[in-house]
Amino acid sequence: MSSSVNPKGEYNRDSDYLSTRITNDPDAEYPVEPGRYRLVVARACPWANRAIIVRRLLGLEDVLSIGFCGPTHDQRSWTFDLDPGGVDPVLKIPRLQDAYFKRDPNYPKGITVPAMVDVQSGAVVTNDFAQLTLDLSTEWTAYHRDGAPQLYPEPLRDEIDEVAKRIYTEVNNGVYRAGFAGSQEAYDAAYERLFTALDWLSERLGDQRYLVGDTITEADVRLFTTLARFDAVYHGHFKCNRNKLTELPVLWAYARDLFQTPGFGDTVDFVQIKQHYYLVHTDINPTQIIPDGPDLSTWLTPHGREALGGRPFGDGTPPEPTRDSERVATGHGAG
């Protein structure tokens, strides 16, 4: 993500994204159309991980192809170094920046994932990660699988938006605010805000299985990707160390519940996550040493959250098993 640190040492994320939308309006510049777009992601990135999860839960694999960047990038761009020859097999480019420059030859901002690319033109349509997943839920409904869950149900949207906003500002972005703080004062304030929010979430989830309503929604997807990275990266690397996730009983049980739900834990690549943060952020980790821990097997231990009721997929069903071509590499998950 493109970002900066202000003179007070406070981390500021650049939130000015390419906000063009892909909609179900056939007259739109970019209408929903099977096979027309490619979702470019990196498993390491929490914002991209959301899009991987939502695409899988909704069963859009046949209509929206996916391209995986490697876990590290240089100052210029995410790269396709996991693919043969280091070139995306569909877009035929080695760097995601090539698709951004197709959209705008003078594109001045960070080259970010997730990004939706128009395969016909090779140009990025949008990198607005928050709107992107909502549109997959609301604009792509004609192509959802049978039994796809309602991740953004209309009666709950105001509450989902409200909860998701606090999760974004205080938790998703809060860990970065602590990790990239350029002064003690900025770090102290970020640390306090983060753990205040985590305490609020623990209280909210103490007697309900999911964040909004009794099923998994967009709000849960947004929180999960930060929790999945918490002990492996944010606790040490970003100095978010009041508690480990494993020391927060409610959030740890909630995170395991989601991790063990098809479509969540099977998208998490802990090896790539650690490679990304510890190798790319040389200002924080100049030695580029990647920690061996933590023990990941505990993600698969019983969580007991079923006792709270709730129906993970509502009236829907779990997604099909992950396709072979999209599976997390053996040894990279918690198993």
252 marked ligand binding residue: no
42, 170, 179, 196, 326 from 237: Cα distances, Å:
19, 18, 7, 20, 28
176 classed as catalytic? yes
CA neighbor of 136 nearest in space, from 42, 124, 145, 168: 145
- Which of 11, 30, 37, 45 is an active site residue? 45
Catalytic pick among 17, 100, 168, 176: 176
DSSP string, 287-323: T-PPP-----GGGGS---GGGG---TTTTS-PPPPPP
Please list the alpha-helical segments (H only) found in 180-331. Answer: 184-204, 218-229, 249-259, 270-280
Question: Do 60 and 33 meet the contact criterion of CB atoms below 8 Å apart?
Answer: no
Residues 6+ apart with CB under 8 A from 37: 22, 30, 64, 65, 116, 117, 118, 119, 125
Sheet of 65-69, strands arranged across: 65-69, 37-42, 115-118, 123-126
Annotation marks residue 278 as catalytic: no
User: What are 18's two structure tokens?
Assistant: 């390419």
Annotated binding site for glutathione: 78
Question: Active-site residue numbers?
Answer: 45, 176
Annotated binding site: 78
